[in-house]
A and B are shown apart, each in its own frame.
Chain A
Amino acid sequence: MVRLTIDGQNVEIEEGKTILEAALKANIHIPTLCYLPEVQAIGACRVCLVEIEGNKNLQAACVSPVSTGIKVYTNTERVRKARRFSVEMLLSNHPFECLTCPKNLHCELQSLANELGITDVRFKGEKSSGRIDESSPSIRRDQSKCILCRRCITVCKEIQTVTALFAQGRGFDTKVEPAFNRDLGEVACTNCGQCSIVCPVGAITENEDIDGVWEALADPDKFVVIQDAPAVRAALGEEFGLPPGTLVTGKMLSAARMLGFDRVFDTNFAADLTIIEEGSELLKRLREGGVLPLITSCSPGWIKFIEHFYPEMLPNLSTCKSPHQMLGALTKTYFAEKMGIDPEKIVVVSVMPCTAKKFECERPEMRSSGYKDVDYVLTTREFAKMIKQAGIDFVNLPDGHYDDPLGEYTGAATIFGATGGVMEAALRTAYELATGMVLESVEFTSVRGLEGIKEATIPVEGIGDVRVAVAHGLGNARRLLNRIKEGRGDYHFIEIMACPGGCVGGGGQPIPVNNEIRLKRASALYAEDRALKFRKSHENPSIKKIYEDFLGKPLGEKSHKLLHTKYTARSRF
């Protein structure tokens, strides 16, 4: 243990920790900007400066290790002036467009300027030139707002192992962008949106689709349907001041109805459907000697990753579409037929924890209904903005309900939002389908939690030991795929989610996201699972009905047309 004093207060902390961590332990707040726990500590922005007695220069607290006996001061005149100077320098070339910026009131630079009491910027210099890049349906970049903190580069390179962005050039002319001045929409970007989660300012945000949705809602000729992904209900409350981990399913459904949607469906219904189709696909491949391991396909960020970086493994992917695309296709066929509504007039809006799904719904394969199966994808953050724009008092809303026939869901569906959830849901169903026996203990806890790669072996009568693995975050996915390619992993079934923690940590979720918040959101979903009457997808009465009335059988002709898809090998550049 190391003993030091911070502002005269004695602090004891383990060796190797930083002054910033020691201050946090002593409840002393040091402002930070480029620092982001679990992502990066590089001491670049010079905002977390502190004075250490006997030290000539001020030190960046985020990268300065503690040592015994040092006396640290975090609130001297010199420190205050230096921090203010650093932020004023950043502001001197920052566009003052706060009122119209998508990050207005959610911007860390804005909060910091306020916190440090900056009311005037003394330096009037050249502004960073920069263009707006809207080439990606998922991500919008406004380079003029970039403060070069490099958080996006670190998350993209170190955690996701994609490196779609990098600092190009040097000095004042440095730009964070792909090589050769290319747009993000043209390069090997997975659209996972983790960069938009970590960007402290308005330089990287989702490409918003709110206006299109308002237009559809205002059009009396349109029949507008909404669906919400499982992870949304575990995080949406945070946008309205509720603590992370608050489950807001009922309020979310009520809000959707108040916004004027004609039907409130639930992506969870299609998650149950995915399990039936994917579980059948797994059993078929196991019994008939198909390509193994079978790898899940619910995460469009993951899909784009494998298309760019491991195209030789595309035959391993399940052909199942992601659940919201299945629901879109069924809305414009099954539901439209049943209700006698012209599918051309139906507008499907998906509320997703995800930015990659904005790209996914634009894919040419996603038109199996004969129309664009999903018209708009909104992130959890955008949906919260709409609720605020509508003046809805979200926190005090009564609990609402989803509509039939595409709303009912089981506990297996709702845990899709957490890493390991799809695996667990699939095991619950595949076990019973394969053995014809009732699975008494439905919780497969070995695939839960935040370990990067999780493994389990499940004995299934008639099939033998089924070896499974789960990876979340694309860096972990890459490690797992390399393990398989090198012949060091002999699995039957693998779940991969692009975002760390799975969809609860998705690129479209409320900011901030860290491991503590990921776990709290996941536990909200596991709690909903425990509270539901049906916890296995094949027990969902609406699922049984749609096979009887419309789809016929799993992997049947209609399923093949509406619920399954194909993939495209893409360039690594």
Chain B
Amino acid sequence: MSSEGHCRCTQIEEESLYTELEKILEGHKGRGKDLIIVLHKAQGLFGYLPRKALEMIALELDVSINEVLGVVTFYNFFSTQPTGRNSIKVCLGTACYVRGGPGVLKQAEKDLGIKDGETTGDRRFSLGVVRCIGACGLAPAMIVNNDVYGRVKTTKIMEILEKYE
């Protein structure tokens, strides 16, 4: 698909999501303590936290935008960059690290043409790192969305990813 066409369609989709966000914000007016809950919901809605959404949240909850971003940038879960439809997490916990995790990450970066923390231009994949997923016996491990892959071979990464649209 042409990336141009895709972008415009995403933009239109995103615009309609702000009405949804307004609904989420109802009942949180002036309630700064609800910040993390609201950020969670907003991220679920947009897939990431666009600046405009963050500003709406700051105004409605009566929290400074600077504090809102402080919270967003502290927690790994939150992202201010658009994320892909599919999330790839390469495990770099101790066991995976010694059994070739860094090589898996390097190959995935090469195959997708993006770095750790980035998203492909077509928004198909986001690539990230986790520190141990408790699958040490399967090291090196990788998660795509909710699926865990063990004993990942660098030559097989693209084969795994092809299943995800």
Contact = CB atoms under 8 A, between A and B. Distances in A.
B65 A168 contact: no
Nearest to A179: B69
Interface string B49-80: 00100110011000111111110011000000
Interface stretch (A98-106, A157-165, A324-332, A553-561): A157-165
B73 A168 contact: yes
A284 interface: no
Contacts of A162: 64
A394 interface: no
Contacts of B58: 572-573
A178 interface: yes
Contacts of B69: 166, 168, 179-180
Contacts of B64: 157, 162-164, 166, 188
Residue of A157, A166, A170 with highest tally of chain B CB at under 10 A: A166
Nearest to A168: B73
Contacts of A179: 54, 65-66, 68-70
A178 B64 CA distance: 10
A169 B73 contact: yes
Interface of A: 157, 162-170, 178-180, 187-188, 572-573
A180 B55 CA distance: 12
A178 B66 contact: yes
Contacts of B66: 163-166, 168, 178-179, 187
A187 B74 CA distance: 21
A374 B64 CA distance: 33
A168 B69 CA distance: 7
Nearest to A187: B66
Contacts of A157: 64, 67
Contacts of A573: 55, 58, 65
Given A157-B64, A573-B65, A168 B70 contact: yes
Nearest to B68: A179
A180 B59 CA distance: 16
B88 to A, nearest CB: 22
B150 to A, nearest CB: 29
Interface in B58-112: 58-59, 63-70, 73-74
A169 B74 contact: yes
> Which 10 A-B residue pairings sit nearest by Cβ, starting from the closest?
A163-B64, A179-B69, A166-B70, A166-B66, A179-B66, A169-B73, A166-B67, A168-B73, A178-B66, A170-B74
Contacts of A167: 70, 74
Main secondary structure of the interface of B (DSSP, over half): helix
Given A166-B64, A179-B65, A572 B73 contact: no
B25 to A, nearest CB: 16
A157 B63 CA distance: 10
A178 B65 CA distance: 8
Residue of B51, B67, B68, B70 with highest tally of chain A CB at under 10 A: B70
A305 B66 CA distance: 16
B51 A180 contact: yes
Nearest to B63: A163
24 contacts: A157-B64, A157-B67, A163-B64, A163-B67, A164-B64, A164-B66, A165-B66, A166-B66, A166-B67, A166-B70, A167-B74, A168-B70, A168-B73, A169-B74, A170-B73, A179-B54, A179-B65, A179-B69, A180-B51, A187-B66, A188-B64, A572-B58, A572-B59, A573-B55
Nearest to A162: B64
A35 to B, nearest CB: 21
Nearest to B51: A180
A572 B58 CA distance: 10
A169 B51 CA distance: 16
Nearest to A163: B64
A479 to B, nearest CB: 14
Contacts of B67: 157, 163, 166
A150 to B, nearest CB: 11
A395 B51 CA distance: 55
A530 to B, nearest CB: 43
A178 B69 CA distance: 8
Contacts of A188: 64
Contacts of B68: 179
Contacts of B65: 179, 572-573
Contacts of A163: 63-64, 66-67
A179 B71 CA distance: 10
Contacts of B63: 163
B129 to A, nearest CB: 14
Contacts of B54: 179
B81 to A, nearest CB: 13
A167 B71 CA distance: 8
Residue of B55, B63, B64, B67 with highest tally of chain A CB at under 10 A: B64
Interface string B24-58: 00000000000000000000000000010011001
A141 to B, nearest CB: 13
Contacts of A572: 58-59, 65
A398 to B, nearest CB: 49
A439 B58 CA distance: 50
A157 B66 CA distance: 10
Nearest to A171: B74
Residue of B55, B66, B73 with highest tally of chain A CB at under 10 A: B66
A359 B141 CA distance: 56
A166 B63 CA distance: 12
A168 B51 CA distance: 15
Contacts of A180: 51, 69
A43 to B, nearest CB: 19
A162 B62 CA distance: 11
A157 B67 CA distance: 9
A298 B67 CA distance: 29
B42 to A, nearest CB: 15
Contacts of B70: 166-168, 179
Given A168-B69, A180-B69, 12 more contacts: A157-B64, A157-B67, A164-B66, A166-B64, A166-B69, A167-B70, A168-B73, A170-B74, A179-B66, A179-B69, A572-B65, A573-B55
